[in-house]
Structure 1
Amino acid sequence: MALEIANVIRFFVYNGTKLPDINPTFSVSKIAELYSAAYPELTNALIEGPVMKDGEAIFTFSKAAGGKG
């Protein structure tokens, strides 16, 4: 039995929007940092995942809970 290597494609979901992987060699937190230029709230986002679905690794960014103090 031979081992089969499968390439897994990462995607990121924020606020219902599926965001492509900017660079597969970057860490997930680096991807969140780069997307924070368009979505400033990602600077403090919670990162969940990955959830594997149809050969994709899906990470979810969500707003961190908290209030102004």
Structure 2
Amino acid sequence: MIEVESITRVFKYNGISLPDPNPTLPIETVRSVYAHQYPELGSADVQSEIKGKKQIVTFQKVLGHKG
């Protein structure tokens, strides 16, 4: 028998955990949703890893050069 387990997504940004607004949304859409509150997320890098029954998605600001 095959058993299906669900994975809970956890979003992290700048040391805080952000709730998953909708588990059916793609990660890129969630990033866009949170970009309204945190504008720098619009160009943030996304890293994802599975730990146990959680998918940890971390948004990281892209460091750029001025000038």
TM (norm. structure 1) is 0.89
Q: Distance in 1 between matches of 2:44 and 2:18?
A: 15
- Residue 37 of structure 1: how far off its partner (Å): 1.1
% identical equivalent positions: 39
- RMSD, aligned α-carbons: 1.0
Q: Structure 2 unaligned runs (5+)?
A: none
Question: Which of residues 52, 56, 59 in structure 1 aligns to 2:57?
Answer: 59
Q: How much does 1:25 deviate?
A: 1.2
Aligned-partner Cα distance in 2 for 1:20–1:67:
31
Give the structure-2-normalised TM-score: 0.91
Q: Equivalent residues in 2 for 1:26-65 (5 A)?
A: 26-49=25-48, 51-65=49-63
| Structure 1 gaps, min length 5 | none
The one-letter code matched in structure 1 to 2:3 is E
Q: By how many angstroms is 1:20 displaced?
A: 1.2
